[in-house]
Amino acid sequence: MANRLQDKVAVITGGASGIGGATARLFVAEGARVIVADRQEPVDGDLAALIVSSPDRVKFVKTDVTREEEVRAAVAAAVSAWGKVTSVVACAGVPGQGSDIDLSEDEWDRIFAVNAKGVFFLTKHAVPEMIKAGGGSVTNISSAYGVVGAPGFAAYCGSKGAVRTFTKSTAIEHAAQGVRANSIHPGVVETPMLHGIFEGTPDPEATRAAFSAQQPNGFNGTPEDIAWGCVYLASDEARFVNGVELPIDGGLLAR
């Protein structure tokens, strides 16, 4: 089906690369208008070219999701350009490594500021615009590690678990106002964030093998694998889908 997101207006945080970049590209391809909100200029080459060639369909707004005013401004940019907001995808995230007895307070706060508070800010400022528009869809990218634990990722697991249940709260809070909220829980996906984890270890290839070994299907996902889930959840096909946690993980959580 083409134009599954016709007449939708979306704000995608963390949209410069990885899952966010792929989601932005697919949303535009399916007919949506998109604000790409990120701290960095798009490093996804196809997306960067699309922003230059189609400014009437996709725009970049520099945004640090830990700063409420910048998230508010990204949402306002969508309303200013296209009159409404109907969809958001919270993709901004940081990995962060360390056990529960090794993490510093500053590192814990840094990870939660991006992974959890950033989701809160986007919801806080986008949902009122969705209500004005007659309804909308919130999609928050959590993680398989937001459902199960993992050694060495205490704050990451905690922050992604927070996204999981915060999303359900949003779903119940605003269901009667036509706003749906769902979370996606990726498995091992080949993104710049994942590559950064590999490169930060003494033996990147061994770390890659250890991560890949978690995948029952024998291979890692791509950003597009997750982005198609975002397209579905934002589309009218998902009008009866609310408060769901959707694993797109190659079977990781089925173990």
Known catalytic residues?
156
Structure-token match 């769902």, residue found: 182
Q: At what angle do helices 223-234 and 18-29 cross, to 10 degrees?
A: 50
8 A C-beta contact, residue 118 and residue 74: no
Of 28, 74, 50, 66, the closest CA to residue 227 belongs to: 28
Q: For residues 180 and 127, give the distance between their C-alpha atoms in angstroms, rounded to a whole number.
A: 10
Of 244, 42, 24, the closest CA to residue 147 belongs to: 244
Sheet holding 87-90, edge to edge: 58-62, 33-38, 9-13, 87-90, 136-141, 179-186, 245-248
- For 221, list phi and psi in degrees, rounded to 5: -80, 170
Q: For residues 7 and 15, give the distance between their C-alpha atoms in angstroms, rounded to a whole number.
A: 20
